[in-house]
Chain A
Amino acid sequence: MSDKIPLHDVSEFAPAEVSEVDLYQKREKIYTRKIEGFFQRVRLFTGWPLLLGYFLLPWINWGERQSVLFDLPARKFHILGLTFWPQDMSLLAWVLIIAAWSLFFVTVWAGRVWCGYTCPQTVWTSIFMWAEQVAEGTRNQRIKLDKSPMSVNKLFRKTLKHSMWMGFAALTGITFIGYFVPIRELLPDLIYLQANIWAVAFTVFFTLATYINAGYMREQVCLYMCPYARFQSVMFDADTLVVSYDKNRGEPRGARKRHEDKPQDKGDCIDCELCVQVCPTGIDIRNGLQYECISCALCIDACNSVMDKMGYDKGLIRYTSENALEGKPAHWLRPRLIGYAVGILVMVIAFGTRIYLRTPLEIDAIRDRNSLYTTTMMGMIENVYTVKIINMDDRPHRFLVRASGIEGLTINGNDTIEAPAGEIVELPLRLVADPAFLKQTSTEIEFSVSSQTGNLEASSESRFLGPRTM
């Protein structure tokens, strides 16, 4: 017979013990303690290049224009030497897919390290936290300041902090818009109040968004707003490196005198709660891995500094895997990781080849629909077309049009056209065919356009309609 579902005795929960609590609770402000350490130094190498890249890139010019400029009104997206048109949207999709797979690869291998080391939310929050420390002092000083009544000192410190915050947020907002409006014109325009109203509106929007996100929201983004936060743990397995508290080593925890030998009845954890004080998301890592943990390793550095002072080995909290903690053999190279790596490699090669072989020419042949076909005096059959030529190159070209697919097919009209750089031109022309060579009422034909210099070529198929054949 089948097993019975285990009984759970609920009689102990008497109605009198039930209390009501607000479903929504105001969050407790997190005061993080500043700590130095190995992983914080690593974070400098991941954070600063991204930050500098973001702020400096719009100022670098490529020829006459900005190296990276997304010209929305003109629908042209300049990245270094290449200009992408909306027709190239599929390339963007591939970039995003490759980026997503890379993120998943890193997540399978090392957990949520994107969050702790490279995510803009973390990078900007760290800067805002630094400004807060400069203006208001260390953790304990900040707690005291917030509890104290308003005073000249408090007003000064708060004003200083918010000014620093607003200033950095403004730089961020202006730089962001500088990717869409040339920043060398944007900055003076904003200063002299001559900027376009939309540029101003969006700059203000992004400034406020940065200010609120990095100043006030902070971990709320990581906990409640970010979609990656919610699904990242699904990619973990027992070999993923996560920030872990070694229970076996640390428990039972307890305070002890500093220079005495390690007591037999206590683990390595001295319950100093430093790991809790430094955590930017407000968790206690000793409870085990929680989804709030952004893998920033502040607790690791904090604990290691205490372990050093106590003379114990480092690594009571460390990056390790579930398997390793249980003493099982850990293997880093596993099918999922290899699969992601191979997939990324294939896609990057395919994408790179596609970019390299990209022709900055596209054509579209549209058949006139007003009449099926026309008959000339000589009895030849004519169809009228408009050939749209999109010159995505940054140079003007002279283009030559050819049509094929029916024996003796000729063009009645101009077969060459000049197209300026980055422009679309239309060439209306007529194709003439001898009905003797038309085998069906609708024949597939092909237009091919080539540049006079010979290096650009594109083709498009169309149809040629004629009378019912004998």
Chain B
Amino acid sequence: MTSFWSGWIIVLTAISIALVTWVLFANRKTEVRDENDRTTGHIYDGIEEYDNPLPAWWFKMFVVSIIFGIGYLIAFPGLGNFKGLLEWTSVGQWQKEMDFHSERLQPILDSYAATDMDELAANPAAMKMGARIYANNCAQCHGSDARGGYGFPNLTDNDWLYGGDSQTLMTTIVDGRQAAMPAWQTILGDEGIKNMAAYVVSLSGRPADETRVAAGKSQYMTMCIACHGADGTGNKFMGAPNLTDDVWLYGGSPAMIEHTLRVGRNGRMPSFKDLLQEQKIHVVAAYVKSLGKQ
């Protein structure tokens, strides 16, 4: 805050403390009208009120509170921009707690990171940690049960776009992935899209219009084999899906396949390099790998 407002707060606080102190000391004396009566002297419709003294220790406690308040404002922030002699901040306290726990957690993480993923799968404590990291970082897209959704791959099957071995899993999570399926609307046109979709459907053994399949096939051989391969089994280096396995990330009905062809797909797996420590990525990757085996 600006120095004006800082000064404003300091002045108001100081005046309040001074006022409270003055009120306390100014009211120490009371008038006694009659030594025998012990009442305040007022009669409210026949009801009188004793004027008994307050215990002296109350007064002492008031004084202690004022001194404590002043001491607190010297030690901790409260007087405007003054940081307090102890320079306490809530972020600082948070950092201390984080450091304390990281110190105890790090050796555990390091030992997990040094263990092979398949071996780690047999460690229940590691898998519990993996499940928690998964729930906090991955479940938002891939679902609580890791079976994915529209545009988010199913991590529990053995169908991998880029590969399901330990090294590839690490690369996928650390560096992220960017899909690049081009849009074919302008090149193929409406009829071309329908033909291509029919051919793609036929690749996984499903029935489709024969004429369209033939027409689509010849166009496929020109335009699609670079990524998806001549036999349609895809390319793990580029992340081009296997079109013959009947697993569809964006829906497998003819209409949905046409839509994919028309608009293209640019699915993105974010990079977790700056979000998660590499040891934690290793643990969660081991967890994901273990899901497929269940």
Contacts and interface: CB of A to CB of B under 8 A. Distances in A.
Contacts of A13: 33-34, 41
Interface string B128-140: 0001000100011
Interface string B279-294: 0000000000000001
Given A24-B28, A24-B59, A25-B55, A428 B143 contact: yes
A165 B140 CA distance: 61
A368 B43 CA distance: 69
A395 interface: no
Interface in B112-135: 131, 135
Nearest to B142: A370
Interface string A122-137: 0000000000000000
A148 interface: no
A21 to B, nearest CB: 5
Interface residues on A, range: 20 to 34
Contact of B57 (A19, A220, A375): A220
Nearest to A21: B32
B108 to A, nearest CB: 20
A429 B30 contact: no
A153 interface: no
B55 A384 contact: no
A386 interface: yes
Nearest to A25: B53
A224 B55 contact: yes
Residue in B55, B253, B294 whose Cβ sees the most chain A Cβ within 10 Å: B55
8 contacts: A21-B30, A22-B28, A22-B30, A22-B53, A23-B27, A377-B248, A386-B135, A430-B145
Interface in A389-432: 412-414, 426, 428-430
B58 interface: yes
Contact of A386 (B32, B140, B144, B246): B144
B55 A19 contact: no
Given A25-B53, A370-B140, A374-B150, A428 B31 contact: no
Contacts of A18: 31-33
B147 A384 contact: yes
B197 interface: no
Interface string A209-232: 000000000001001100000000
B29 A22 contact: yes
B144 A384 contact: yes
Report the 9 A-B pairs with minimum CB-CB distance, sorted nearest first. A25-B53, A428-B144, A428-B145, A24-B59, A26-B56, A386-B144, A23-B30, A384-B143, A20-B29
B141 interface: yes
Interface residues of B, number: 37
B56 A413 contact: no
Contact of A374 (B53, B55, B149): B149
A368 B53 contact: no
B169 interface: no
Contacts of B31: 18-21
A114 interface: no
Which of B28, B143, B144, B147 is most buried by chain A, counting CB atoms within 10 A of its CB?
A: B144
Contacts of A414: 294
A27 B32 CA distance: 18
B146 A428 contact: yes
B150 A371 contact: yes
A17 B145 contact: no
Nearest to B131: A426
A380 B67 CA distance: 71
Given A370-B141, A428-B144, A25 B149 contact: no
Contact of A24 (B32, B34, B53, B140): B53
A8 B55 contact: no
B206 to A, nearest CB: 10
A71 B253 CA distance: 57
Contacts of B294: 414
A375 B59 CA distance: 73
B239 interface: no
Contacts of B29: 20-23
A27 B56 contact: yes
B66 to A, nearest CB: 15
B32 A224 contact: no
Interface in B45-71: 45, 53-59
A412 B143 CA distance: 13
Contacts of B28: 22-24
Contact of B149 (A20, A223, A371): A371
Contacts of B41: 10, 13
B50 to A, nearest CB: 10
Contacts of A27: 55-57
B56 to A, nearest CB: 4
B164 interface: no
Among A8, A10, A22, A429: residue with most chain B CB under 10 A: A22
B252 interface: yes
A2 to B, nearest CB: 14
Contacts of B80: none
